Structures are given as C-alpha cells and as structure tokens.
Amino acid sequence: MKIQIIRCLKDNYSYLIIDETNLNACIVDPGESKPIIDFVESNNINLKYILNTHHHFDHVDGNTELKKKYNSSVIGFSGDRDRIPKIDILVNDQEIWREDNFEAKIYHTPGHTSGHIAFHFFKEKKIFTGDTLFSLGCGRIFEGTYEQMFNSLKKIKSLPKDTEIYCGHEYTLQNSNFCASYDTNNLQLKNKITKIKEKLRNGLPTIPSNLDEELQCNIFLKADDLQTFSKLRDLKDNF
Ligand code: ZN
Ligand code: FE
C-alpha cells in the first residue's frame, strides 16, 4: 500500500491509501473533493472507499461529491450514522474492516468528538488518527471528557512502537512550541523540532510521525495520569 498525502483546506491532510497492484484506493477524511479528484484523475485511481475519522466538516465535506463521481462507499462510526454525510458502512470499536486488499482495525477514540474513530492498518503498521492524536499534540476536547481523551490516547499508545502516525492536520510546529515550553530538557524533542523545521522549510509535510518518537516527545502521551493530562490540555487551550 502506498500513502499519498493530499493537502485540503487550510491545514488539513487527507490520505489516499493506494493498493498498487490494482490502483484501488481509500481516501481518509476528504475535507474537500477538488484536490482529491485532481489526483485520482491524473493517476487513474479507483476511489472505492471513503474513510471518515469523525463528522467535522473539514474531514467529511468531500464525501458527497466523491461518492457521486466515483460511487465510493463511505465508512464511519455506527454512532455517527446521522452526522456523517452519505455513510454506507457502519463500524464499531475493535472491529476489523476488510474490503478488497484493505484491512484496518477500528478503535473508538472519543474525546474530540463522541464518535471519533481511528483506522489502524495493522499489516502496514499505519494508523490514521484524525483529530485524536496529532504529531506532538492531541485534539481539543469538544464533546467528550478529559478521561475519554486520555483513554483514547492510551489505546494508541499500546500499539507497536514502529507504527506510523497519520493525523488530520499540519499542527506540528505550533504543537512543538507547547511541548518545548513545558518539557525543556528533552533532547529528542529538540532533535525532532530541528527535523520538523527543515521539512517545513522545504515545503514538505511533517507527517507521518511514528509512535516511538511521539512517546518520547509528545507531552500529552508522556502524561501518565489523568490529572497531569487534563492540566496540560487546559494549558494548551490557552497557549
Ligand atoms: Zn475535528
Ligand atoms: Fe479537524
């Protein structure tokens, strides 16, 4: 499987997961349709599936147009059946979604929204975390509780350390400033920030990250009790 990163809207990332044996593909979180159609058309991709991590507009606004054009199936959390546009296939926590050569385990990760999910392509060791886990940050808590978000991150933390993290936004640099100001002596974080700045200078995404680096550098993953996590989340909201 090849991952093509497609920029959407201001700072969103959609990910095209391409099976290179037959050019079948899934798109994760199409925040808009135009940049995805452009890539699909010029590369003869069969856009068969639309995977949504949650119902926010910047993750689903491309659903209707893409489904109309390519007759793709929309996959989303069962609890969000009324909020995800054009949803076809309802999935639940811990379920394995399989179609063609695609295989992903679903993790329900509430906190940012009550129906947020992550798609873990375990054979490829890649997880699509939407607005739950960002590189060096985590999503704002809109619908859930601190405890739900803390537990959702815990699920991701327990995956193999070489898992690649594909998140919903390019927020890495802003997040790194927060981590750096509350974790001042972290050498690995400093090294990661140098790499991040170099990528951005060259116009490249800072994504994917990987779980090993996030465990060392992401202050929200380093927090090992709910109280510390909640305090950090509050500080970040006002940072
Ligand atoms: Zn969101
Ligand atoms: Fe978002």
Rounded Cα–Cα distance for residues 105 and 56 (Å): 21
Burial class of 15 by CB neighbour count within 10 A (0 to 12, 13 to 18, 19+)? buried
Strand (E) or helix (H) holding 144: none
Ligand 1 center–CA 139 separation, angstroms? 7
Ligand 1 center–CA 185 separation, angstroms? 31
Mean pLDDT of successive 10-residue segments in the chain (239 residues)? 98 98 98 98 98 98 98 98 98 98 98 98 98 98 97 98 98 98 97 98 98 98 98 97
Residue that has been written with the tokens 């050498």 in this structure: 187
Q: Residue 149: count other Cβ atoms within 10 Å of its Cβ.
A: 26
Q: Which pairing describes strands 46-51 and 73-77: parallel, antiparallel, or unpaired?
A: parallel
pLDDT at 198: 98
pLDDT at 211: 98
Contacts of 203 (CB under 8 A, 6+ apart): none
pLDDT at 137: 98
Residue that has been written with the tokens 């999503």 in this structure: 139
pLDDT at 88: 98
pLDDT at 108: 98
Contacts of 187 (CB under 8 A, 6+ apart): none
Q: Residue 164: count other Cβ atoms within 10 Å of its Cβ.
A: 16
Catalytic residues: 54, 56, 58-59, 112, 131, 169
Ligand 2 center–CA 166 separation, angstroms? 13
Q: Which ligand lies nearest to the CA atom of residue 113 in the structure?
A: 1
- Domains defined along the chain, listed by start: 2-170 (3.60.15.10)
The helix/strand/coil state of 74 is strand
